[in-house]
Amino acid sequence: SSSLISSLISSLSSPSLSFSNTPIPGNSVLRHLTSKIKSTGPISVAEYMREVLTNPVTGYYVQNDMLGPDGDFITSPEISQIFGELLGIWCLSEWMGAGKPSHLQLVEFGPGRGSLISDVLRVFSQLSGALGGATVSVHLVEVSPKLSQIQAQCLSGDQSRVSASEDEPVYRQGTTAAGLPISWYRNLDDVPRGFSVYLAHEFFDALPIHKFQRTEKGWREVMVDVDPEEPDKLRFVIVPAPTLASTQLIQSDEKRQHVEVCPEGGVIVQRLANRIAGDGGAALIADYGHDGTKTDTFRGFKGHKLHDVLASPGSADLTADVDFSYLRKMAGAMVACMGPVSQRSFLKNMGIDTRLQVLLRNCADPSTRAQLIHGYDMLTNPAKMGERFQFFTMLNHIRLTGPEPKQPELGAKMAPVPRKAPAPLPVAGFSELGLS
């Protein structure tokens, strides 16, 4: 695997970097939330997040382009092209490890501005020889109409069209610059079945969570209520009686005093596991996260700074660290899970150091060189994103064990003992890269 990854990296050329961002102001939902709470009582943190982030009229993700220097946060693909290139190589190596199926679906959840999938597709174009005759299609799962427009512009220029009916499962279709078909969907269920590599980068951390506190009377849910002292302010309350969520979502062996659970994330992981087990393929999940150790991670970001999660809802991004131990439990035995490993380890295992040296060797412009080095530092420095970000993968079991040998039919002549099948390729990024 290490020689495969090394040869894929060395085959990449050195394109120029480009950055562009358009700021769009935020939108407030406070009045809507306070009237709702006054009429029906406190709401769960999950419902609060859902209203603030994805309400079809006022939702933060629906209204805003929140990415980049002028937005509320910057993601790894916006920081350095190397990030997306290495994920592109990961997708290719997993397709090879699965025996090079004749069709590959690339599926990305919440593609942001399209930077990541754009970098992945550039790798696919440059290494098209490695694909042989396999066909590739691109499938994007995106709830925001505004972001889907930005993605379409980035990936297909003017070569995309919106579906005539709002009810169509595919709400936008187009063709990439390299001629690959690309489709947009609101949820995973609408994406066609088939061998797929799924990418979810900073997707799971924005899904709604429930928050729970251990009390003398057992687990109780933390909810959002109107502050009785200041009616235009919100506050957290611990509800006195159990809720459906507090009785259903806590694991029996839970040791922590405070827990955040993301049932929507669990459902998506189960659906992914089901598809990977049935159709083959792999999922790569990269996010702020932990392996079942953290407690209170719910936070807001506005203008790249931490922001009170309950203040001026709709004007800031809301996020919670992904509990990978919960995702692993939800995936169950259907698939093989690996990780989480830190972003630093993953990228170093993928050969980020080699790739950086190649780009620097081919780059004379001092500001671009400085940008490359700064990007590398942001991605891998343990004090920056290197340790906060974690990578986790789900794979078809056959990927790690190899296909079982066919048994001879009853009465058939005994065939000669076949030579032992070659060992499956190690999974790139999750095992150390031995560069010779």
Q: How confident is the model at residue 9 (pLDDT cuts 50, 70, 90)?
A: confident
Q: How confident is the model at residue 413 (pLDDT cuts 50, 70, 90)?
A: low
- Give the model's pLDDT for residue 26: 36
Query: Burial, 60: exposed, middle or buried (Cβ in 10 Å; 0-12, 13-18, 19+)?
Result: buried
Q: What is the dihedral of CA 375, 378, 379, 383, to 10 degrees?
A: 160
- What does pTM read for this prediction? 0.89
Q: Inter-axis angle of helices 81-97 and 2-11, to 10 degrees? A: 130
Asked if the model's pLDDT at residue 22 lies above 50, the reply is no
Q: Cα–Cα distance between 39 and 387 in angstroms, integer?
A: 44
Q: Inter-axis angle of helices 352-361 and 366-380, to 10 degrees? A: 170
Q: Phi and psi of 11, rounded to 5°?
A: -80, -15
Average pLDDT, the chain: 89
Asked if the model's pLDDT at residue 432 lies above 80, the reply is no
Asked if the model's pLDDT at residue 433 lies above 80, the reply is no
Contact yes or no for 355/407 (Cβ under 8 A): no
CB atoms closer than 10 angstroms to residue 265: 25
Q: Cα–Cα distance between 244 and 44 in angstroms, integer?
A: 11
Residue entry with tokens 């922001």: 307
DSSP line for 335-377: SEEEEEEEHHHHHHHTTHHHHHHHHHHT---HHHHHHHHHHHH
Both structure tokens of 72:
């509320």
Both structure tokens of 427:
């999974």
Could you report the per-residue pLDDT of 43-96, keeping only the tens digit for each? 999 999 999 998 877 777 766 655 555 554 567 777 788 999 999 999 999 999
Could you report the per-residue pLDDT of 311-355, keeping only the tens digit for each? 999 888 999 999 999 999 999 999 999 999 999 999 999 999 999
Q: Phi and psi of 349, rounded to 5°?
A: -65, -25
Instruction: Tell me the sheet residues that pair with 235.
Output: 225
Taking residues 372-391, report their average pLDDT.
Answer: 96
Could you report the per-residue pLDDT of 292-316, keeping only the tens digit for each? 999 999 999 988 799 999 999 988 8
Asked if the model's pLDDT at residue 17 lies above 60, the reply is no
- Give the model's pLDDT for residue 393: 98
Q: What is the Cα 40 distance to its own chain's centre?
A: 34
